[in-house]
Amino acid sequence: MLDVARSFCPLEELLGIIDAMALYKLNVLHWHISDDQGWRFPVDGYPDLVSEDRGYYSRDDINYVVSYAEKRNIMVVPEVDMPGHMIAALSAYPKLSCTGGPFVIPTGEGIFQDILCVGKADTIAFARKVVDTLCSLFPSPYIHLGGDEIPLDRWATCPDCQHRMQELGYKDEKALLGWFSNEIAAYAREKGKSTILWSDYVDASYDPSIITQVWNPLLGKHKRFHSNHQVIKSDYFHSYLDMSYALVPLSRVYRYGKSVQKDRKQNTKVLGAELLLWTEYLNTREKRESHLYPRLLAGAESFWTKDSKLSYTRFKRILTHDIQLVSDNQNNVNKPSIWDPLLLEQIKARRARKKRVTANSKEAGISL
- Shorter beta-carbon distance to Zn ion: residue 21 or 161: 161
How many alpha carbons lie under 13 Å from residue 77 in its C-beta half-sphere? Answer: 20
CA-to-CA distance for 5 and 56, rounded, in angstroms?
Answer: 9
CA-to-CA distance for 218 and 154, rounded, in angstroms?
Answer: 26
CB 91 within 8 Å of CB 101: yes
The binding site for Zn ion (CB under 5 A) comprises 98, 117, 119, 158, 160-161
- Shorter beta-carbon distance to Zn ion: residue 61 or 149: 149
CA-to-CA distance for 97 and 90, rounded, in angstroms?
Answer: 6
- Shorter beta-carbon distance to Zn ion: residue 121 or 364: 121
Considering the complex, what minimum distance in angstroms separates the CB of residue 12 from Zn ion?
A: 41
Considering the complex, what minimum distance in angstroms separates the CB of residue 233 from Zn ion?
A: 34
Considering the complex, what minimum distance in angstroms separates the CB of residue 98 from Zn ion?
A: 3
- Shorter beta-carbon distance to Zn ion: residue 77 or 158: 158
CA-to-CA distance for 251 and 343, rounded, in angstroms?
Answer: 8
- Shorter beta-carbon distance to Zn ion: residue 173 or 274: 173
Considering the complex, what minimum distance in angstroms separates the CB of residue 303 from Zn ion?
A: 41
Considering the complex, what minimum distance in angstroms separates the CB of residue 164 from Zn ion?
A: 8
Considering the complex, what minimum distance in angstroms separates the CB of residue 99 from Zn ion?
A: 8
- Shorter beta-carbon distance to Zn ion: residue 149 or 160: 160
- For 115, counting Cβ atoms within 10 Å of its Cβ (0-12 exposed, 13-18 middle, 19+ buried), the class is buried
Task: Report how far apart the first and last C-alpha atoms of the chain are (Å, whole number).
Answer: 53
CA-to-CA distance for 330 and 366, rounded, in angstroms?
Answer: 50
Which residues, listed in sequence order, are joined to residue 198 by a DSSP beta bridge?
Answer: 213
Pairing of strands 211-214, 38-39: unpaired
CA-to-CA distance for 18 and 64, rounded, in angstroms?
Answer: 12
- Shorter beta-carbon distance to Zn ion: residue 28 or 161: 161
Other Cβ atoms closer than 10 A to 303: 23
Considering the complex, what minimum distance in angstroms separates the CB of residue 151 from Zn ion?
A: 13
Q: What number of residues does the chain have?
A: 368
